Amino acid sequence: MRVLLTSWGSRGDVEPLAGLAVALRELGAEARVAAPPDEEFRVLLERAGVPLVPLGPTVASIVVRPKPPTHADAFRLAPELVTARFETLLPAAEDCELVLATGLMPAGARDVAEKLGIRYRLACFHTLGLPSRHFPPGARPGKQSAEGETDNRVLWRQDAERVNALYGEALNRHRAELGLPPVDDVRGHVLGDRPMLAADPLLWPGQDRTDLELEQTGAWILPDTRPLPDGLAEFLDAGEPPVYVGFGSMAAFAPKDIARVATEAGRALGRRVLLASGWAGLTAIDEAEDCFVVGDVNQQALFPRVAAVVHHGGAGTTQAAARAGAPQLVVPRIADQPSWAARVAELGIGTAHPDPEPTVESLSAALAGALAPAVRERAATVAGTIRHDGAQVAARLLLDGADRPA
Residues 353, 394 within the same domain: no
Among 212, 194, 198, smallest CA distance to 21 is for 198
Contact indicator for 351, 344 with CB cutoff of 8 Å:
yes
Angle between helices 11-26 and 315-324 (to 10 degrees): 60
- The verdict on residue 332 lying in a domain is yes
Contact indicator for 128, 335 with CB cutoff of 8 Å:
yes
Q: Write out pLDDT tens, residues 68-93.
A: 889 999 999 999 999 999 999 999 99
CB contact set of 114 (below 8 Å; sequence gap of 6+): 120, 180, 406
Dihedral (Cα; 231, 236, 238, 240), 10-degree rounding:
160
- Rounded Cα–Cα distance for residues 396 and 390 (Å): 10
Residues 136, 211 within the same domain: yes
- The verdict on residue 63 lying in a domain is yes
- Rounded Cα–Cα distance for residues 98 and 190 (Å): 15
Residues 152, 234 within the same domain: no
Query: Domain range spanning residue 32?
Result: 2-221+388-400
Contact indicator for 155, 145 with CB cutoff of 8 Å:
yes
Identify the CATH number of the domain in which residue 247 sits.
3.40.50.2000
- The verdict on residue 258 lying in a domain is yes
Residues 234, 217 within the same domain: no
Residues 141, 167 within the same domain: yes
* Total domains in the fold of the chain: 2
pLDDT at 128: 93
pLDDT at 404: 54
- The verdict on residue 44 lying in a domain is yes
Residues 149, 258 within the same domain: no
Residues 114, 240 within the same domain: no
CA of 128: how far to CAs of 26, 69, 312, in Å?
A: 31, 20, 17
Q: Which residues of the chain have pLDDT under 50?
A: 405-406
- The verdict on residue 406 lying in a domain is no
Residues 167, 210 within the same domain: yes
Residues 378, 394 within the same domain: no
Residues 352, 297 within the same domain: yes
Residues 181, 242 within the same domain: no
C-alpha 147: how far from its chain's center?
30
- The verdict on residue 191 lying in a domain is yes
Angle between helices 169-177 and 109-116 (to 10 degrees): 20
SS3 string of the chain? CEEEEEEECCHHHHHHHHHHHHHHHHCCCEEEEEECCCHHHHHHHHHHCCCEEECCCCCHHHHCCCCCCCHHHHHHHHHHHHHHHHHHHHHHCCCCCEEEEEECCCCCHHHHHHHHCCEEEEEECCCCCCCCCCCCCCCCCCCCCCCCCCCHHHHHHHHHHHHHHHHHHHHHHHHHHCCCCCCCCHHHHHHCCCCEECCCCCCCCHHHHCCCCCEECCCCCCCCCCCCCHHHHHHHHCCCCCEEEECCCCHHHCCCCHHHHHHHHHHHCCCCEEEECCCCCCCCCCCCCCEEEECCCCHHHHHHHCCEEEECCCHHHHHHHHHHCCCEEECCCCCCHHHHHHHHHHHCCEEECCCCCCCHHHHHHHHHHHCCHHHHHHHHHHHCCCCCCHHHHHHHHHHHCCCCCC
pLDDT at 360: 97
- Rounded Cα–Cα distance for residues 141 and 103 (Å): 16
What pTM did the predictor assign?
0.95
Residues 357, 329 within the same domain: yes
Backbone angles phi, psi at 197, to 5 degrees: -115, 110
- Rounded Cα–Cα distance for residues 168 and 240 (Å): 54
Q: Write out pLDDT tens, residues 215-240.
A: 999 999 999 999 999 999 999 999 99
